[in-house]
Amino acid sequence: MTGLVCLSARDRSLPEALRAYLDERHAAEADALSIAPLAGDASTRRYFRLSGRGAPQVLALYPEPFAAEESSFLGVRALLVDCGLPVPDVLDVDGARGLLLLEDLGDVTLQQALQGASAAQRESFYREALGQLARLQEQAARVPQQAACFRSAFDTPKLSWELHYFQKHFLEGQRGCELSVEDRATLAESFHRLAEEIASWPRVLCHRDFHSRNLMLHDGRLCWIDFQDARLGPASYDLVSLLRDSYVDLDEDFVAARCEEFRRLALPGDAPAVFERRFELLSVQRNLKALGTFGFMQSVRGSDVYRPYVPRTLSHARRNLARHPELAALWRVLARHVEELQ
């Protein structure tokens, strides 16, 4: 995240909840504070960097008040800490105003770090991330599973809903596709079959959005953000997010090597062919879901920020649609309406 402009703590353009928080809890140092809005993501949360009183800190402003004991971010974070995983410290909570004060992890995402990385550095980053994922799966299975994230899963309805979201916001919304009755029937059946199979596989705890924009390079290690939507899902779900990433290019030999490394590390009992097939089918679902988000941001919110990442995501989807005969009907309909999938 990068600061855009710097404001004072009393600037009237700041959200009222943020100004009230600073007035109440940091009045003595308000004149020394500098507030910089940060570029966010597709969520409704807003972020601000506080500077001028030691190490910078980040304020996360939620659209609504929340009870700390019901916060998915705080609940999942506590679980990840118990698992020994790197997440930002929580410095203050003001649920009544919808605010969290967090450790500032800086601006360098894995996406950015990869731009100037050598081949050896790139491999090291991904091996670190794979080790963290393996740790999550191993340790989360051992802790008391009382957190809300253990009661939420990538089940058939959720996976199917995400695919229909792609249909609504990418095919029809962003691309303006006019789907026939037969097209809709084929998509509905194909989406259901794909979702049903994925939902039948064994489940572990998943970060859910484990890609290069949600891994921050901080103090020489990769730290996790945006984990509040963690839920149960297939063991290779986060691996797909990482290696079929919409935001970075990875060559196929590199992807294959990292997949095999993760299989041996976390899932040694899975036959390579089974692991590969599940990885590829999950890639189709995950990439179509991402395209739905990109389409929503453009057609509903009027933002083109994700447009540069559409071609790479379509390329990922086409590669795996083409590899599996059971997806032929789905591929045929999509290719008829989306040139890049032909």
pLDDT-derived band at 85 (thresholds 50, 70, 90) equals: very high
Calculate mean pLDDT across residues 145-155.
Answer: 93
Assigned CATH class of 110-341: alpha beta
Residue 68 has pLDDT above 90, yes or no: yes
What pLDDT shows up at residue 3?
A: 42
Residue pair 58/104 in contact (Cβ under 8 Å)? The answer is yes
Nearest partner of 153 among 230, 228, 76, judged by Cα: 230
Alpha carbon distance 102, 85 (integer Å): 16
Q: What is the pTM of this model?
A: 0.93
Q: What single-letter DSSP state applies at residue 82?
A: H
The CATH homologous superfamily of the domain defined by 7-103 = Phosphorylase Kinase; domain 1 (3.30.200.20)
Amino acid, single-letter form, for residue 201: W
Cα angle 152, 168, 297; round to 5 = 80
Average pLDDT score, the chain:
93
Question: How are strands ordered across the β-sheet holding 99-103?
Answer: 7-8, 34-38, 46-51, 57-61, 99-103, 90-94
What pLDDT shows up at residue 30?
A: 67
- List C-alpha distances in Å: 88 to 104, 159, 296: 7, 29, 29
Q: What single-letter DSSP state applies at residue 95?
A: G
Residue pair 149/230 in contact (Cβ under 8 Å)? The answer is yes
pLDDT-derived band at 244 (thresholds 50, 70, 90) equals: very high
What pLDDT shows up at residue 1?
A: 43
Beta bridge partners of 32: none
Q: What is the pLDDT of residues 306-331, one digit of tens each?
A: 999 999 999 999 999 999 999 999 99
Helix (H) or strand (E) holding 272: helix 272-299
Q: Percent of the chain having pLDDT more than 90?
A: 83
pLDDT-derived band at 284 (thresholds 50, 70, 90) equals: very high
Q: Residue ranges of the domains in the chain?
A: 7-103, 110-341
Write out the DSSP string of 280-295.
Answer: HHHHHHHHHHHHHHHH
Residues 6+ apart with CB under 8 A from 298: 173, 174, 304, 306, 307
Nearest partner of 183 among 318, 337, 288, 340, judged by Cα: 337
Q: What is the pLDDT of residues 176-225, one digit of tens each?
A: 999 999 999 999 999 999 999 999 999 999 999 999 999 999 999 999 99
3-state secondary structure of 221: strand
Of 53 and 15, more confident: 15
Alpha carbon distance 307, 303 (integer Å): 9
In residues, how long is the chain?
342
Helix (H) or strand (E) holding 173: none
Amino acid, single-letter form, for residue 298: Q
What pLDDT shows up at residue 39?
A: 75
pLDDT-derived band at 8 (thresholds 50, 70, 90) equals: low
Q: Percent of the chain having pLDDT more than 70?
A: 95
Residue 138 has pLDDT above 90, yes or no: yes
Alpha carbon distance 230, 55 (integer Å): 29
